[in-house]
Structures are given as structure tokens and as C-alpha cells.
Amino acid sequence: MSNKQRKKSSPAAVRLDLPVEKNQTLELTIEDLSHEGNGVGRYEGYTLFVPGALPGEKVSVKATRLTKKYGYARLLDIVETSADRREPPCPIYKRCGGCTLQHFDYEAQLAFKRKLVEDNLRRIGKIENVIVHPTIGMEDPWRYRNKAQIPIGEEEGGLVGGFYAQRSHEIVNMEKCLIQHEKTDYVIEQVKRIAGKHGVRAYQEETHSGLLRHVVTKIGFATGELMVVLITKEDKIPNQEALIEELVESIPGVKSVVQNVNPKRTNVIFGDVTRVLWGEEYIYDTIGDVKFAISARSFYQVNPVQTERLYGKALEYAALTGEENVIDAYCGIGTISLFLAQKAKQVFGVEIVPDAIEDAKRNAVLNGMENVTFAVGEAERVIPRWYEEGNKADVIVVDPPRKGCDEALLQTILDMKPERVVYVSCNPSTLARDLRVLEDGGYETVEVQPVDMFPHTTHVECVVRLYLKKGKQKASA
């Protein structure tokens, strides 16, 4: 056999070494859930991920995709059912990719999320002896989202709107979504009806034609105020005046109708141009005692009930007495900064997005808080400058995106050596990675509080309390 023939045969040889073949039907016992919420089973030591299967279940599956180390299988039948299995109340649950754990008992979801955090701390962060509290859940884990971003399509000449099917860009039309605020269902239905009536065509990804790309709704849970944002490919909307007039008449409580123009071939929802078509530029909402102005482009936590608990825990972990200077890295529109300002001497917030900082300053004025300073820029550049100017932080709070903290920011924290660090995380794996860096630099992870911001999904947020170990401050002097 030539070398060329040997190279061609080697992939087949690898596949033949697996105990499973593609399209093979087999029976598995599900041992665990992956971070994506898939059941984890093993067949002769080979790991298979099974969407829809739950721990403790014996299932019949069909192998669909195999790699050298693991594979995926489709659930065919449940031979033995978990006591934690529930019937999903959503009629399009099996098609929609919006949430993936409705078939899992809610208390079991909370336990799974706590274990997910513990596993990441141990496996990635090598952090063993730390308190991970039970996940803070919701009394009613439905209808919790104050914001929806609904893609619009066409079906038999009419407009449809919903969420993308799992692993596709096929729009699953919906009449109601059980994790969105109740008003959202009605608003989307009215926009589809009225826009279709006035000749608005849906945007088509394949041909880059049509007009209406997305409808975004924002609702103030505390105020009841409502904003509707129409994301269009072009400036001009057919019969715009009549369309807007009918929308306003048909939607009770609407305070603002906004257009955002996104002419690009992209999956990014918002474009660069935003204009108010009717009503106000902002709606308002409150979290605890703090009031926020929310624009079409503002980032604002989507679950206000759990946000109050999350930020309340961050405030508790900051242990403020009124004498501290606090730095809030990745401050956004100032949500955590303004919570902290209620108890701190001075708060300095930094954020790379200029529009967010303008919102943060506006929110500080709105709440009459004068002990807050906001700056635009990269935290790892701005914070050292503050330090050089004498603004030493007693407490640093970080709330980074899913990718975690920038390495330079972590080094800045280690150089500044604040007595306390509060880390708010939306990704347990990058959290664990960053905690390892902080621990190696002299901090102790004292406790971790998971918070369920997104029931019926695999996402979990955490608040972490860290203290500078005794002696580290003096040693650095």
C-alpha cells in the first residue's frame, strides 16, 4: 500500500475505532446536563450529548454527529422518565430556539445552575473551598422579560414575527411568548397587522430586499411605559403617517415609536441612524429606588425583578459605609453605579460606549446623585489614570461582557489593590478564569451568589465577593 493510500484510509480507521456509528440507534442512561442544557450520556465510555434528555433518564437515541472525543444524538424515546421532567407550556417550544429548559422542573433548573457554577470554579479556576450559595430564583419564572427583539418575515403574503428556530434563521411565528411581558404579544401582533395593511414588506436576508427587519419592544415594568422600535433597511416607510397613527391608536400605553435604519448585510440588529417617529425619546423604569431613562439603544437589564436582587447582592458584597471611593468598570448606563452611589462616598464609572455614558450621566441627574463621575474609555486605560490622579478605590466592581475582564484590567486591579472586589458575571467559565488570576494576585474568593436572570434558559449570573488577603497591602507598600 502506498503512502497516499494510507492517508486516505486513516480517517475511516479513526471512525471505526469509535464504539458508535453515525445513525446507530442505542440506549443511554443520562448522567448530567452540559452547559448548553443537553443531556450527557456515555456508551462504552464515549460521550454523547442528547438535546431534550434529562439526568436520570434512560433514553433511546440516534447518533447524528460524531467526533473523535464526543458526539451528538437525537432523542427518539424516553424509556425511563425523570421525576423532574415537565410538560413545556409553550406551544412552539420544540421548534423555537428562544429557551431550552422548559421541560425541566424549575427548582431543578436552579440546582443545575448552581452546580454549573461550582463545576466551572473547580475545573477552570481550580477554586475548591468557596461557598456557592443556592441560586436565587423567581417566585413566578414567567413573563419576566422587559425587552423583545423580534425578527420579521413573510409567509403566504403576510408578515410573521417570532424567534429563530434552533440552529437556523427560519422564523417560527408566535402568538405569545411565555417569557416576555404580556404586552409584547399584543404589540407584535398589531405591528404585523398594521404594517402589512400599509404595504410594508419584510426584509429578506437572502436577497437583501424588503424593508422591516425587526420589531423591538421595551416596557417599563414599574411605570408601564412602552416603546416600539421599527428596524428598517431603508429610511422611507410606506404610508408612514397613517401607519404610525394607527399603531398609536391600537397600542394602549405606548409612549414612543422609534425607527432605526440598518441598511447593511449583517446579523447585527441595530444600525447607526435612530429617529423618533412619534412621542418621547425615552421611557422610564425604576429598579429599587433608582429611576432610569431608557432609549431605543440603551442597554438595560431585561429582567427587572431579578436585577434588583442581583444589584442588591452586589451592594451587600461591596459592604459600603459611606466613606468609600468605588470604581465601577463596564458601567453601561450606570445601573450598578447608581445603586452603589446610594451608600458610597464617591463612585467612578467607566464604559467604552459613548452613548451609554451619556445615558449614565442623564440617569445620575435624574436621580439627583452628585457623587458619581462617568468617563468614556477602556477601563484598563481610564482606571490607571484615575489612580495616578489620586482616585484610589477602596472597592472595585466589575460587570464585564461574556468574554470576561480584559487582562490589563485584571492587572490594574492587582496593582491598585482595593480592599474589596465585587465581580458580577454572566458567564461562569470566564468568571472562573478571572478569579484564578485575582486569587494568584493576592485576593480570596469568599462567596459566590448565582442569580437566575433568565429562567428556562441555561444562562446564569453570579455575584462574587473577594477580599484582599491580609498582609498583601503592606507588602506592596
Identified catalytic residue from 90, 96, 331, 426: 426
Q: What are phi and psi of 356, to 5 degrees?
A: -65, -40
Q: Residues with Cβ < 8 Å from 221, sequence gap 6 or more?
A: 146, 181, 285, 304, 305
For residues 431-461, one letter each, b for 16 or more C-beta atoms within 10 angstroms of the residue's C-beta and e for the rest, the string is bbbbbbbbbebbbebeebbbbbbbbbbbbbb
Residue 374 half-sphere exposure toward CB, CA atoms < 13 A: 28
Gap between the Cα atoms of 411 and 423, Å rounded:
15
CA angle 417, 423, 426 (to 5 degrees): 155
Q: Is 96 a catalytic residue?
A: no
Contact indicator for 146, 303 with CB cutoff of 8 Å: yes
Q: Residues with Cβ < 8 Å from 123, sequence gap 6 or more?
A: 432
Grid cell in block for residue 60: 433511546
Grid cell in block for residue 106: 424549575
Contact indicator for 184, 177 with CB cutoff of 8 Å: yes
For residues 210-234, one letter each, b for 16 or more C-beta atoms within 10 angstroms of the residue's C-beta and e for the rest, the string is bbbbbbbbbbbbeeebbbbbbbbbe
Q: Which residues are identified as catalytic?
A: 426
